[in-house]
Structure formats: C-alpha cells, structure tokens
C-alpha cells in the first residue's frame, strides 16, 4: 500500500482466516496484539528508532515514542502497523480485516446517510469485493486517526464515507463534535490483499505558518 516518505508499513501474515467471531478469544487476540507490536517495532527500526516500548494508553490506543505517530491492527491471519515521523504525519490510522462480508445485523449499525445506496451500487458494479467489510475497515482507520486529535471514540454512524472503487481510495468526514483543531475530513487508501483487506489514513503534519 502506497504511503508517503517518512511513513513505514510493516506486516506479517499468519494462519488462514477461521470462522467469523464477533469477539475472538482472549488468547488469540493477545498473540495477534504481540505480533502487531512486533510489526510496529520493525517499522520504527526502519525509521531509526530501535528497542522501542509501545505501551497501551488509557483509551486502548498504542503510545508511541516521542517524535513518532502510528497505528496498528490485527485480525486472524494478518497483523500490520504503520509508523511515521511527526514531521510527516500528525496521526495515522490503519486497519486490516478478513475479506468477507460482515453480518447484515452488524452492517446495519455502521451505515449512515447515503452509504447504503453506495454499497448497493458497488456490489452491483464490483461483486467480487466485500464492500461492507471495506466500509467497516475504512471507518476503523478514520477513527484511529481521529482519536489522537480528540481523545474520544465515536459511533460508526458519526463518520460518512465515499469509497472510490477504481482508485482504491476513499474520502471520509467525521460529524461528531470536536475542538477547532481536530480534522474533519480524511482521505485514505484501501486494498484487498489475498484473503484480507487493509485501509489506511495518514493525516498530514501541520507546518508552522501554514493552514
């Protein structure tokens, strides 16, 4: 997945995807979490930061070494981390999911505005893609990039997404209340990689005297 200079993505592929579970076992998630942090440390090493601890913050988010921002994600069979210098990005959100449709009852809880009609059009024009899973993943990435600016997690319906199927990109807008410096609009990339799909959002760093 294409990222700007100063941002590194590291990933590992593991076991094949198993049956869908709304909440994977704690042992499985613990192993996946360790693997994701191993990816994060590998990405940090490629950026010149070695032997880095990545503790978990009060909101469940990873806490990055000074001078870096990042995001990590894991699911059955795949773990990934994206890390960048603060001079390049003010926040990063990345998400990986098994490439299969999510359950209709779950999908109904994340769709807002015109997204239902968008998903129907995408399913008709590109039937081999699990678009509900793409939408889920995109919103996860957006929220991970939103949280460092606000310290708040919000509902899936607080994010409106437009997916561009032929460009492998998306645009998103968060409509939840936030401070004046919090980003509202996001642009990112998504792709299907074998049995998984991945999405990423990189919020550019604010240059002094710009904006």
- Is 32 annotated in a binding site? The answer is no
95 labelled ligand-binding:
yes
Answer whether residue 43 is part of any domain: yes
Q: Is 144 annotated as a binding residue?
A: yes
* CA dist list (Å): 60 to 34, 51, 54, 57, 72: 14, 21, 12, 5, 12
Mean pLDDT of 4-24: 65
State pLDDT tens for residues 38-82.
999 999 999 999 878 899 988 888 999 999 999 999 998 899 999
**Does residue 80 form part of some domain?**
yes
121-130 contacts, C-beta under 8 A, 24 or more apart: 122/163, 122/165, 125/165, 126/165, 129/99, 129/165, 129/192, 130/99, 130/100, 130/101, 130/102, 130/197
Does the pLDDT of residue 86 top 90, yes or no? yes
Residue 82, phi then psi, degrees to nearest 5: -125, 130
Tokens 């990109």 belong to 169
Is 19's pLDDT higher than 60?
A: no
Judge whether 191 is annotated as a binding position: no
Q: Which of 47-56, 77-86, 99-108, 110-119 has the lowest mean pLDDT?
A: 47-56
Q: Is residue 209 part of a domain?
A: no
Q: Residue 210: inside a domain, yes or no? A: no
Is 41 labeled as ligand-binding?
no
Q: In this structure, is residue 65 part of a structural domain?
A: yes
26 has pLDDT over 60:
no
Could you tell me the CATH number of the domain that includes residue 166? 3.90.470.20
Q: Residue 211 domain-assigned?
A: no
Residue 1 located in a structural domain? no
- Is 139 among the annotated ligand-binding positions? no
pLDDT at 24 over 70: no
Q: Does residue 2 form part of some domain?
A: no
Q: And the tokens for 5?
A: 């200079």
Mean pLDDT score of the chain: 88
189 is in an annotated binding site: no
Q: Is 155 annotated as a binding residue?
A: no
Domain count, the chain: 1
Q: Check pLDDT > 80 for residue 130.
A: yes
The pLDDT of 109-121, averaged and rounded, is 96
Q: What is the mean pLDDT of residues 91-99?
A: 97
pLDDT of residue 50: 85
Query: Domain limits at 197?
Result: 7-204
pLDDT for 100: 96
- Per-residue pLDDT, 43: 95
pLDDT tens column, 141-180: 999 999 999 988 889 999 999 999 999 999 999 998 887 8
């Amino acid at each position: 997945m294409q990222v700007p200079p100063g941002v590194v993505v590291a990933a590992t592929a593991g076991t094949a995807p198993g049956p869908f579970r709304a909440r994977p076992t704690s042992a499985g998630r613990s192993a996946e979490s360790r693997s994701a942090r191993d990816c994060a440390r590998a990405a940090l090493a490629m950026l010149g930061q070695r032997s880095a601890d990545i503790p978990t913050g009060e909101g469940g988010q990873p806490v990055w070494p000074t001078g870096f921002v990042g995001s990590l994600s894991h699911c059955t069979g795949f773990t990934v981390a994206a890390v960048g210098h603060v001079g390049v990005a003010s926040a990063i959100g990345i998400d990986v999911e098994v490439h299969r449709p999510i359950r209709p009852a779950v999908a109904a809880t994340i769709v807002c505005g015109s997204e239902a009609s968008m998903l129907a059009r995408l399913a008709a024009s590109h039937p081999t893609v699990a678009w509900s899973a793409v939408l889920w993943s995109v919103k996860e990435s957006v929220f991970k990039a939103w949280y460092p600016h606000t310290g708040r997690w919000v509902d899936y319906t607080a994010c409106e997404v437009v997916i561009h199927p032929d460009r492998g990109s998306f645009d998103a807008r968060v409509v939840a209340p936030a401070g004046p410096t919090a980003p509202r609009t996001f642009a990112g990339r998504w792709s299907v990689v074998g049995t998984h799909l991945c999405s990423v959002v990189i919020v550019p760093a604010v240059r002094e005297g710009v904006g």
